[in-house]
């Protein structure tokens, strides 16, 4: 492990002082170089440096270096410490953070609702009154309905060691709350992947339908670490072919603390050795646009059909690695099928070759009209992957955020599995590139006494009819049933009440009925769409306005920890949420238990010191307060290497210890779980159409529609900053072939209707999207008269997504699966 040099804070202050002097004299001498240029003003004005980080959810937590004077931020620089290859430099959004911090739209005071729920009318109250309300509502909810009526909503706007946790700690001390299972990012993948690649928990027992723990030996599955997946740096070192499904690091892993730089280095190395990068996406994304990468346009939601046709070609051409499949896998063909399914034509090979399930041969000619990829092109790709020495197959999370995502995400993994290219140099398991699970510091601890866990996307159902939801009919984990409707929702740093959830019009119906959820607390920094549904709306001090601590992101080369001091005072009556939670705890006589005698800043010190015990290179507390940032290099890793090397010593945490291409457990769940007519839990990774997926378009809704994460926002975060919106506008991508017959020109205002809602959005007519499908960037701010026509002029994609949780994960598959009609508004 090497330690990166970090520049001392004093050195910085001195340098900026010297620069200031230089600039002034330069200016005085009339040097054109300095006249009116930004550095002069900066250097003259600022006299303090404060570190902090970007806390929104790109996972990066890129580093901010604030320059303040007289308790007010003047300007921002980002990380400029150590090697330029290893800098957590903020992206365009992070660099716009001053506009957020100092925005006139900041929430300043606690407020309570005065109008109808969802109307957005509030009146200012004092913190005392706000705390009275919370205490009273907590008491009455717990008395009347029990702690299982309390839910902390999914919310990702605050990634920090002391960010969200005070709320979890407080509610844990009060008897607990319903836990969240999975997340909106990888809902389908997280639920299904354990059945294929294993996990110590998160696997349901088909007999009872309940989730259970398999044993301590194996790790818990996580899509966020490189235990199950390899790093881009592995591809950089050894691969000759990189195939990406639904993955655009240049858009979703921006910033130096993320993987975009890793991706750039990887591309250079792979192309440099004569290799190739293939990007499979329904649109030409920014990662491949302008580069020699090959773009393979595909109809969204049909990746599994493409994979099946490649599998067909390989089986027919004897390209598969039968030895690997027999030794490491279950269910490729009848040789390794479990007893319960042997001799019944239920294997993967049967499915592909047309001897199983649907009796259809999955030829390229079969896949071509589904995927819109010509059969010849599919054959070419099949040959290309089979003949690569070290193919690195990976998927972003776009392909799994579909209604058939549970099948698709496993199907993509079949490519490396079929040819045995797993656990070897330069290869990957078919999952997203990932970094080591190294976190230099932890979070404020808590233990929720309640184990009941709700798949996150199910919360609206839980408000509506939670008392009817069970493990078997709703995927409840940790208990047989939910036990209560949700009556108290705590929504801190999230916009998932409406904007980021699904089917906003339906959610509005459920939330505006005050007899259902009786109390909604929203705690944010600006007036979001979700905030309009608050009964109590609290303002928050942002991390740059208090002492802060966080360990960094998604880069595979290094990690870092920032200990920062407040760059300016919080505006208005904004307070640290830790202090507010401590006050609430006090009212329940639990202050001592809550604080353990520590202030917020004491916790920062405590957590840092605890982290430093595990890494003897971490600076002392006194040093880190001075230098602000500490970085450490990370090792690359090959996913599932230990399993490949010695499957007996390192079995996977699946029931068989092997890769389960056929999962007897999933087959069992399909029988025991109570599923809707149109729902199936498939034991093997088949191509399934999915709700609002392939074949579901109608004359009323003749176009497929999908979404993506784009540059001007992190979800809805930054969505109110006009300068960013100008950089990457909220536009609907439509191919000229679909635009022309509708008389749509670039820049036209459009009406887009789905079976559940209608939006207005500007047209971007472009050949960069496959015909027959339109694309909408997710996260735009919903703007509609919810007590009137409900037409969303903000162009929020979740006005169009239906609310139908997926069969196994009960997840947000509709987030990227929609059908629509588009016309000029």
Contact set with ligand SF4 (CB under 6 A):
54, 56, 58, 60-62, 90-91, 93-94, 254-255, 257-258, 714
Q: Which of 159, 263, 708, 733 lies at the binding interface for ligand MGD (CB under 6 A)?
A: 708
The listed partner (Mo ion, ligand SF4, ligand MGD, none) that binds 308, CB under 5 to 8 Å by sort, is: none
The listed partner (ligand SF4, ligand MGD, Mo ion, none) that binds 94, CB under 5 to 8 Å by sort, is: ligand SF4
Q: How far is the CB of 59 from ligand MGD (least distance, A)?
A: 6
717 binds Mo ion (CB under 5 A): no
676, exposed or middle or buried, with CB in 10 Å at 0-12, 13-18, 19+? exposed
248 binds ligand MGD (CB under 6 A): yes
318, exposed or middle or buried, with CB in 10 Å at 0-12, 13-18, 19+? exposed
**Contact window for Mo ion (CB under 5 A) among 62-70, 178-186, 200-208, 356-364:** 178-186
- Closest to ligand MGD by CB, 558 vs 694, is 694
Q: How far is the CB of 312 from ligand MGD (least distance, A)?
A: 19
Give 95's DSSP letter. G
428 binds ligand MGD (CB under 6 A): no
Which of 181, 172, 183, 152 is closest to 445 using CA atoms? 172
**Contact window for Mo ion (CB under 5 A) among 179-187, 217-225, 671-679, 680-688:** 179-187
- Closest to ligand MGD by CB, 276 vs 316, is 276
Q: How would DSSP label each residue in 190-249?
A: HHHHHHHH--SS-EE-TTT--EE---SSSPPP-TTSTTSS--HHHHHHH-SEEEEES--H
Within residues 168-187, the interface with ligand MGD by CB under 6 A covers 184-185
Q: What are phi and psi of 586, to 5 degrees?
A: -60, -40
Q: Which of 631, 644, 715, 753 lies at the binding interface for ligand MGD (CB under 6 A)?
A: 715
- Closest to ligand MGD by CB, 211 vs 715, is 715
53 binds ligand MGD (CB under 6 A): no
Q: Which of 20, 94, 118, 157 lies at the binding interface for ligand MGD (CB under 6 A)?
A: 157
CA dist., res. 165 & res. 173, Å (int): 12
Q: Which helix (H) or strand (E) holds 164?
A: none
Token pair 């979001």 is found at 528
308 binds ligand MGD (CB under 6 A): no
Which residues are CB-contacts of 564 (< 8 A; sequence separation ≥ 6)? 50, 51, 52, 53, 64, 543, 544, 547, 548, 549, 628
**Contact window for Mo ion (CB under 5 A) among 183-191, 335-343, 424-432, 509-517:** 183-191
Q: Which of 177, 263, 282, 781 lies at the binding interface for ligand MGD (CB under 6 A)?
A: 282
**Maximum CA extent, the chain:** 90
Could you tell me the CA-to-CA distances from 517 to 137, 492, 553, 699 in Å, in that order?
12, 16, 35, 38
Binding mask 500-539 for ligand MGD (x = CB under 6 A): x----------------------xxxx-x-----------
156 binds ligand MGD (CB under 6 A): yes
281 binds ligand MGD (CB under 6 A): yes
Secondary structure string (H, E, C) spanning 785-811? CCCCCCCECCCCHHHCCCCCCCCCCCC
CA dist., res. 469 & res. 481, Å (int): 6
Rg (CA), the chain: 27
Binding residues for Mo ion, total number by CB under 5 A: 1
Q: How far is the CB of 710 from ligand MGD (least distance, A)?
A: 6
Q: Which of 181, 391, 396, 571 lies at the binding interface for ligand MGD (CB under 6 A)?
A: 396
Token pair 């207005």 is found at 760
Q: How far is the CB of 456 from Mo ion (least distance, A)?
A: 11
Strand ranges across the sheet with 122-124: 122-124, 111-113, 536-539, 519-524, 488-492, 150-152
Give 686's DSSP letter. -
User: Shortest Cβ contact with ligand MGD: which residue?
Assistant: 157
Q: What are phi and psi of 38, to 5 degrees?
A: -55, -45
The listed partner (ligand SF4, ligand MGD, Mo ion, none) that binds 562, CB under 5 to 8 Å by sort, is: none
Q: How many CA atoms lie within 13 A of 820 on its CB side?
A: 32
CA dist., res. 68 & res. 48, Å (int): 5
Q: How far is the CB of 561 from Mo ion (least distance, A)?
A: 23
- Closest to ligand MGD by CB, 282 vs 558, is 282
- Closest to ligand MGD by CB, 34 vs 578, is 578
Q: How far is the CB of 711 from ligand MGD (least distance, A)?
A: 5
757 binds ligand MGD (CB under 6 A): no
The first and second tokens of residue 535, run together, are: 């009964």
Handedness of CA 306, 309, 313, 315 (dihedral sign): positive
185 binds Mo ion (CB under 5 A): yes
Q: How far is the CB of 505 from ligand SF4 (least distance, A)?
A: 29
The first and second tokens of residue 110, run together, are: 């606690």
- Closest to ligand SF4 by CB, 66 vs 392, is 66
- Closest to ligand SF4 by CB, 90 vs 580, is 90
Q: Which of 195, 492, 533, 733 lies at the binding interface for ligand MGD (CB under 6 A)?
A: 492
- Closest to ligand SF4 by CB, 314 vs 554, is 554
304 binds ligand MGD (CB under 6 A): no
Distance of CA 315 to the CA centre of its chain: 35
Q: How far is the CB of 724 from ligand SF4 (least distance, A)?
A: 10
The first and second tokens of residue 592, run together, are: 């001592």
Which of 515, 537, 528, 245 is closest to 401 using CA atoms? 245
The listed partner (ligand SF4, ligand MGD, Mo ion, none) that binds 257, CB under 5 to 8 Å by sort, is: ligand SF4
The first and second tokens of residue 263, run together, are: 């991706």
Binding site for Mo ion (CB under 5 A): 185
Binding site for ligand MGD (CB under 6 A): 55-58, 155-158, 184-185, 245-248, 251-252, 254, 280-283, 285, 298, 300-301, 303, 396-399, 401-402, 492-496, 500, 523-526, 528, 540, 542-543, 706-711, 713-717, 778-779, 797-798, 801, 815-816
């Amino acid at each position: 492990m090497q330690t990166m040099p970090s520049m001392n804070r004093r050195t910085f202050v001195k340098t900026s002082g010297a620069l200031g002097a230089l600039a002034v004299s330069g200016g005085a001498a009339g040097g054109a170089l300095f006249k009116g240029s930004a550095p002069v003003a900066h250097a003259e004005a600022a006299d303090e440096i404060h570190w902090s980080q970007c806390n929104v959810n790109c996972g990066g937590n890129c580093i901010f270096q604030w320059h303040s004077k007289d308790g007010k931020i003047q300007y921002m620089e980002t990380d400029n410490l150590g090697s330029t290859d290893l800098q957590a430099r903020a992206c365009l959004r992070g660099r716009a953070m001053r506009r957020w911090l100092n925005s006139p739209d900041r929430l300043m005071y606690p407020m309570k609702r005065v109008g109808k729920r969802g109307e957005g009318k509030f009146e200012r109250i004092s913190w005392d009154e706000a705390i009275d309300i919370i205490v009273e509502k907590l008491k009455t909810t717990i008395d009347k309905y029990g702690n299982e009526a309390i839910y902390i909503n999914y919310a990702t706007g605050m990634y920090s060691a002391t960010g969200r946790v005070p709320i979890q700690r407080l509610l844990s001390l009060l008897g607990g709350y319903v836990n969240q299972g999975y997340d909106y990012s990888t809902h389908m993948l997280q639920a299904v992947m354990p059945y294929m690649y294993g996990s110590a928990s998160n696997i349901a027992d088909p007999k009872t339908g309940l989730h259970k723990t398999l044993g301590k030996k194996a790790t818990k599955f996580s899509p966020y670490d490189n235990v199950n997946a390899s790093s881009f740096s592995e591809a950089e070192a050894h691969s000759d072919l990189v195939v990406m499904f639904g993955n655009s690091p240049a858009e979703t892993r921006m910033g130096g603390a993320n993987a975009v730089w890793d991706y750039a280095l990887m591309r250079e190395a792979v192309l440099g050795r004569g290799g190739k990068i293939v990007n499979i996406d329904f649109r030409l994304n920014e990662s491949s646009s302008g580069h020699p990468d090959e773009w393979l346009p595909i109809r969204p939601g049909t990746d599994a059909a493409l994979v099946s046709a490649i599998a067909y070609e390989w089986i027919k051409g004897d390209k598969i690695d039968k030895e690997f499949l027999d030794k490491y896998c279950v269910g490729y063909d009848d040789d390794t099928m479990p007893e319960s399914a042997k001799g019944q034509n239920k294997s993967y090979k049967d499915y592909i070759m047309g001897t199983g399930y649907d009796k259809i041969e999955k030829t390229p000619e079969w896949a071509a009209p589904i995927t819109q990829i010509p059969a010849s092109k599919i054959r070419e790709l099949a040959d290309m992957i089979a003949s690569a020495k070290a193919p690195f197959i990976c998927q972003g999370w776009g392909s799994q955020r579909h209604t058939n995502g549970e099948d698709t995400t496993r199907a993509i993994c079949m490519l490396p599995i079929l040819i045995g290219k797993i656990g070897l140099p330069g290869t990957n398991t078919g999952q997203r590139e990932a970094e080591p699970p190294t976190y230099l510091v932890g979070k404020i601890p808590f233990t929720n006494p309640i184990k009941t866990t709700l798949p996150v996307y199910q919360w609206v159902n839980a408000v509506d009819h939670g008392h009817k939801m069970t493990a078997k009919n709703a995927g409840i984990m940790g208990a047989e049933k939910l036990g209560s409707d949700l009556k108290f929702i705590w929504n801190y740093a999230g916009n998932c009440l409406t904007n980021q959830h699904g089917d906003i019009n339906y959610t509005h119906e459920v939330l505006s009925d005050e007899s259902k959820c009786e109390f909604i607390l929203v705690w944010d920094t600006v007036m979001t769409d979700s905030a309009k549904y608050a009964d109590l709306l609290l303002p928050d001090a942002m991390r740059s306005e208090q002492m802060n601590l966080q360990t960094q992101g998604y880069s595979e080369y290094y990690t870092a920890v920032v200990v920062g001091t407040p760059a300016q005072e919080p505006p208005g009556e904004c307070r640290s949420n830790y202090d507010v939670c401590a006050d609430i705890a006090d009212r329940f006589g639990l202050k001592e238990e809550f604080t353990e005698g520590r202030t917020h800043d004491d916790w920062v010190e405590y957590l840092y010191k605890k982290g430093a015990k595990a890494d003897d290179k971490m600076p002392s507390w006194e040093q880190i307060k001075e230098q602000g940032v500490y970085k450490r290099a990370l090792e690359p890793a090959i996913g599932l290497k230990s399993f490949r090397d010695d499957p007996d010593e390192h079995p996977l945490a699946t029931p068989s210890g092997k890769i389960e291409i056929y999962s007897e457990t999933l087959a069992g769940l399909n029988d025991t779980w109570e599923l809707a007519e149109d729902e199936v839990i498939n034991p093997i990774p088949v191509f399934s159409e999915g709700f609002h997926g392939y074949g579901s378009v109608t004359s009323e809704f003749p176009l497929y529609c999908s979404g993506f994460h784009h540059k001007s926002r992190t979800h809805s975060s930054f969505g109110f900053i006009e300068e960013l919106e100008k950089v990457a506008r909220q536009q609907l991508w439509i191919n000229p072939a679909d635009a022309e017959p509708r008389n749509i020109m670039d820049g036209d205002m459009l009406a887009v209707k789905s079976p559940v809602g209608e939006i207005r959005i500007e047209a971007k007519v472009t050949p960069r999207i496959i015909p027959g499908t339109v694309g909408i960037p997710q996260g735009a701010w919903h703007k509609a008269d919810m007590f009137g026509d409900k037409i969303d002029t903000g162009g929020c994609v979740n006005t169009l997504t239906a609310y139908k949780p997926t069969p196994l994960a009960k997840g947000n598959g509709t987030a990227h699966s929609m059908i629509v009609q588009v016309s000029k508004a």
